[in-house]
């Protein structure tokens, strides 16, 4: 078991080598220039690493930097995306997007934890490590490539897949409940079915299909059953909207 | 009086013309590309301006944007400037730098209020208008030229003249009190004298000279007597430090 664990850990934590570089490049969608920044973004304080001046080397300072960059990028996005929103609205929406819960979800979905170098085992990290790693990773991007690349990464990995403004506004709390309500009103039978449950350590994937009137109307994959159901519901909802608008 | 007021107002508030463009260029230290953003940064909500879709045109949304950019630029500066500071230290230092009081001081020193377009008179603005205008102005720079120009402006106008890390750390509360203490210990007579009191509407300037042992050791100019005294004390303090270090 001990040997298996070691092999497993080794393959998951490459040492500043070509594997890590390629993984980072794939995650970023562009080439890292200074790989050290990304390495630092995964060093847990328990490693007790220090530089030649005795300053701690871990990802905690990068969190501070990444948090600030994330805040600025989301602010700029909301500013241009919602021209009707006043200062209070923009502030409220931003805090929803960068909430601890949301950042943890982002970090977890990107499975950042698999690169962590630590002297304590993963069970001791606590839930917030996912969000902290996400912030630190943004901080590393800023140091490596500057603000515009932070913007590019946040747009692709946060804004496009996660920022659903009507939902954040609370106008739509759950697409699943909208779909169920719509089916019940129309007396249509509906059914959510898990067709895929692909669980590997750290990164789980679920596939869910939604049938209405015994026909599959939408499919979606996500990191939890609940999220996959919600995604499938959203797709079904937008497909219905389109149909209604065409009539 | 009414006519004088009108003439005065007109000369202070040019209408998107060459004068305003040149004033902005001088303040920015680079050429604005889209002057409209800077014009918007001075439109007070009392103007009740709206665009063709009925959205309000004033500087309040720009405050949100500028606040975020300022936070990011200061974060990046502190991150690189204080490699020994942990996340908590960096967060605390940033909030001191971007405190409401500090932003009001910055906006007041740049005399941004002179460009405000408003339907209410300046007495009704309240103290925070200075900081709000400063934030909105940063927001306009972001829209016009992007993050790197925000950084450049904030560096020149905020960091270099205002960000004194030892003082912010509370290690030095007041250079004036340090100088007085030092004089009293050495039984040296000292004297602060206002040699200039140049008060024009909106932009006041005071010149203060500090004499020790009946010799002028430092001079400084600032927008208040207190600030000029502090600046002169700081200069005297650093001059003494240099002397001491040479010995």
- The angle subtended at Cα B135 by Cα B132 and Cα B141, nearest 5°, is 140
- Flag whether residue B42 sits within 8 Å of chain A, measured between CB atoms: no
Identify the domain boundary among B134, B164, B194: B164
Q: Does any domain span residue B63?
A: yes
**B200 has which bridge partners?**
B203
Residue A150 is inside which H or E element, if any?
A: helix A147-154
Residues B126 and B215 in one domain: no
pLDDT for res B79: 96
Residue keyed to tokens 């925070």: B128
Q: Do A91 and B61 touch (CB under 8 A)?
A: no
Q: Does any domain span residue B48?
A: yes
Distance between CA atoms of residues B138 and B91, nearest Å = 21
Q: Does any domain span residue B4?
A: no
Q: Does any domain span residue A238?
A: yes
Q: Do B147 and A147 touch (CB under 8 A)?
A: yes
Distance between CA atoms of residues A5 and A11, nearest Å = 10
pLDDT tens by residue, B52-102: 988 889 999 999 999 999 999 999 999 999 999 999 999 999 999 999 988
Q: Do A75 and B91 touch (CB under 8 A)?
A: no
Q: Does any domain span residue A5?
A: no
Q: Please report which confidence band the pLDDT of residue A1 belongs to, taking 50, 70 and 90 as the band edges.
A: very low
Is B67 catalytic? The answer is yes
| The pLDDT of residue B6 is above 60 | no
pLDDT tens by residue, B180-232: 888 888 888 999 999 988 766 556 788 999 999 999 999 988 888 888 898 89
Identify the domain boundary among A133, A163, A193: A163
pLDDT for res B150: 97
Residues A159 and A179 in one domain: no
CATH number for the domain that contains residue B199: 3.30.160.20
Range scoring the smallest mean pLDDT among A13-27, A36-50, B141-155: A13-27
Residues B180 and B100 in one domain: no
Residues B182 and B139 in one domain: no
| Domain housing B188 | 175-246
State which residue of chain B sits closest to A91, comparing Cα positions: B64
pLDDT tens by residue, A90-110: 999 999 999 998 899 999 999
Give chain B's mean pLDDT. Answer: 86
Q: Do A71 and B69 touch (CB under 8 A)?
A: no
Residues A149, B149: contact at Cβ < 8 Å?
no
State which residue of chain B sits closest to A60, comparing Cα positions: B87
B-chain CB neighbours of A53 within 8 Å are 83-84
Give the catalytic positions of A in this structure.
Answer: 67, 135
Give the number of domains in chain B: 2
Distance between CA atoms of residues A160 and B93, nearest Å = 33
pLDDT tens by residue, A138-151: 999 999 999 999 99
Residues B29 and B128 in one domain: yes
Residues B151 and B220 in one domain: no
B-chain CB neighbours of A67 within 8 Å are 75
pLDDT for res A242: 67
Q: Which of B36, B105, B127, B135 is catalytic?
A: B135
């Amino acid at each position: 078991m001990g040997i298996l664990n070691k092999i497993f850990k080794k393959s998951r934590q490459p040492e500043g080598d070509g594997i890590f570089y390629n993984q980072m490049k794939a995650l970023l969608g562009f080439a890292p220039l200074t790989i050290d920044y990304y390495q630092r973004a995964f060093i847990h304080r328990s490693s007790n690493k220090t530089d030649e001046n005795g300053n701690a080397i871990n990802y905690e300072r990068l969190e501070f930097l990444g948090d600030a960059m994330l805040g600025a990028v989301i602010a700029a996005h909301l500013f241009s995306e919602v021209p009707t929103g006043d200062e209070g609205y923009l502030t409220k929406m931003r805090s929803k997007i960068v909430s601890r819960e949301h950042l943890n979800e982002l970090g977890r979905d990107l499975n950042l934890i698999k690169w962590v170098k630590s002297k304590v085992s993963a069970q001791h990290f606590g839930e917030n490590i996912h969000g902290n790693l996400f912030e630190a990773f943004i901080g590393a991007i800023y140091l490596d490539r500057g603000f515009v690349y932070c913007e590019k990464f946040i747009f692709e990995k946060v804004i496009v897949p996660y920022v659903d403004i009507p939902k954040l506004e609370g106008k739509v709390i759950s697409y699943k409940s909208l779909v169920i309500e719509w089916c019940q009103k129309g007396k249509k039978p509906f059914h959510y079915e898990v067709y895929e449950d692909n669980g590997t350590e750290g990164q789980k994937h679920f596939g869910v299909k939604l049938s209405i009137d015994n026909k599959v109307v939408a499919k979606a994959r996500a990191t939890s059953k609940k999220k996959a159901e919600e995604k499938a519901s959203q797709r079904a909802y937008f497909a219905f909207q389109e149909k209604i608008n065409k009539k």
